[in-house]
Structure 1
């Protein structure tokens, strides 16, 4: 198998796998290679960097991590740290309602339940319905931890 980066006459770029270089040439000659974006059949190979693996004898053994490397359980960058902080804030200051999120949010919105901060899961159609009805909800950028209700 060989992977080529291809581009069409509209300058769309995409990758595709072929059985061999000869298979690509045959399919292209038969007009069976088309742009994955616009369907244009005027497709050429684009310039790409080859993937070359080192020989087994040249492969290095992994070095031991330095003493100042962070463990994998710690955030690797400021964005991961911000998400971790946000998750902690939400979990400490909100009630987890699990799959009852849509029902609870709607009840609070219409006044049938006391207002409080909640988080949980909602199916896409439930979330869309809440938004259409003016219920103030936002998606979380993380999956809530599983807790019992």
Structure 2
């Protein structure tokens, strides 16, 4: 099945790609409110103008690969335009959300389970949950590394 790839933009001007089976699939998902920005979770999404992809590789002569010279990251990032940066940002956000999704949500039991894992009383695994700043500080003082997760990275918080 061929997929349609559309450039989409949320109300906050984040640009990202959406993959759909057809124009009708996009319209249907849009009408049902299923489209959200992977960066901020905004559901006011619009389709941007984009050039069609044409497979014309058979028309081009084969080119020899050019050697790639290393470019410092900061220099490479400075050369990107806003659209390219937004695509990178969207990809990073999707990856971070995937990592968060793979953790076990402990809710209010987070601090006690983090201690149990740290002291070998429970299976070692990635967990997330609720902790006050004071609880996070106490965990860190015990040598238990914790990192607050912004709500926009937790899909459960966006629903």
Calculate the TM-score normalised by the size of structure 1. 0.45
Between structure 1 and structure 2, the one with the greater Rg is 1
TM-score (normalizing by structure 2): 0.42
Higher relative contact order (CA 8 A, sep 6+): 2
Higher helix proportion (structure 1 or 2): 2
